[in-house]
Amino acid sequence: MWSTLRLLIIILLCRVINLLSHLYTDVILQPLNHINEYIAMCDIIDHYTATNPTRKPLFIADRGFVSFNVFAHAIENNAYFLVRARESNPRSMLATIKLPDSPEYDIIFERWLTKKNTKTVKAEPEVYKTIANRTFDYLDPKSKSLYYISFRIMSFVLPNGNTEVVYTNLPKEDFSTEELRELYNMRWGIETSFRDIKYAAGLLFFHSRKKDLVIQEIYAKLILYNFCELITGAIVVKKKDRKYSYQINFSIAIAICTEFLRRSCASPPVDVIALIGRELIAVRPDRRNPRYLRARTATTFQYR
């Protein structure tokens, strides 16, 4: 039997959410001994473009997905990417690039990627970038070939005064700095959706010990979240002369949907949309609270 704490660590959940429909469209689960977020992201890009050949998606990701291999998969699949850069350190991608002194800039990064580490490659860092010890699916480990890659590196100042750097292959003539800033802000939809699925849908703790049953719980919570999101998305909240605009309270909406799914067929019909439509919560834009990190211990099965 696995301990409760091990169950929380044993599986990496890499999920994809449509930021316009707020629905989870794909998910990859990886066990502890095979955790690799880069491979998961590449598989997600390949799978989406294979099943949606006529669409040109934009993948927005956090700094944990900064990789030449991820960028190349998006480019080869005719897709766009917008990825937050890691904080500057000697091993980061930004540490090897000569950047402008200004806090805001928009430059083009162009390099020939190679598995070689010759004197020529070392002598021209502005032309070549060696990836000898890195996974790259478009160059064989002992290949002498080159792979050309080009994308934008953009820095902008956030409202709190901090500077944020992103990598993207969105065309410069079609997407300005302000538009990229707005697209990047949409990334918070990922965090809010994951908060809802953890706390409102109950994915924070599992009720099973066996691996297969834990995976079943994960898929069940994802389906429950999408079911509730489809219903709440169809409800139109009437605008009134109030201080704030209002939206559906998703936590209560999930509780109503869960109770609806538990009802037997012999139970009298219930207007779920009307019930959910009554549960509103105020929308307070630009609301920010400090984030306090604390250690979290396992919760015993008696309290789940």
| pLDDT tens, position by position, 55-96 | 899 999 888 899 999 999 999 999 999 999 887 666 667 777
Q: Smallest Cα–Cα separation from 149: which of 118, 106, 109?
A: 109
CA–CA distance, 153 with 170 (Å, rounded to integer) = 11
Question: What is residue 10's predicted lDDT score, i.e. its pLDDT?
Answer: 44
Q: What pLDDT sits at residue 89?
A: 65
**Looking at per-residue confidence, does 304 or 172 come out higher?**
172
pLDDT of residue 125: 86
- What average pLDDT score do residues 145-156 get? 94
Return the pLDDT at 9: 37
Long-range contacts of 154-162 (CB under 8 A, 24+ apart): 154/105, 154/106, 154/107, 154/180, 155/99, 155/103, 155/104, 155/105, 155/106, 156/104, 156/180, 156/181, 157/103, 157/104, 159/286, 160/288
Tell me what pLDDT residue 93 has. Answer: 75
pLDDT band per the 50, 70, 90 thresholds, residue 300: low
Burial class (CB in 10 A: 0-12, 13-18, 19+), 167: buried
Q: What is the pLDDT of residues 249-261, one digit of tens each?
A: 999 999 999 999 9
Average pLDDT score over residue span 40-49: 92
Mean pLDDT in residue range 264-293: 81
Most confident of 80-89, 117-126, 260-269: 117-126
Q: Compare 198 and 96 and report the one with higher pLDDT.
A: 198
How does pLDDT run across 89-119, given as a tens digit for each residue? Answer: 666 677 778 888 888 999 999 999 999 988 9
Give the span between the Cα atoms of 154 and 210, in whole angstroms: 45
How does residue 20 score in pLDDT terms, banded at 50, 70 and 90? confident
Q: What is the mean pLDDT of the chain?
A: 84
pLDDT at res. 97: 80
pLDDT in tens, 223-244: 999 999 999 988 888 888 778 8
Q: How confident is the model at residue 7 (pLDDT cuts 50, 70, 90)?
A: very low
Q: Which residues lie below 8 Å from residue 46, measured CB to CB, with a gap of 6+?
A: 73, 77
Rounded to an integer, the average pLDDT of 149-169 is 89
**Overall average pLDDT of the 267-287 stretch:** 85
CA distance 157 to 168: 17
Residue 6 has pLDDT above 50, yes or no: no
Q: Which residues of 7-37 are buried (b: 16+ CB within 10 A; e: fewer)?
A: bbebbeebbbbeeeebbbbeebbbeeeeeeb
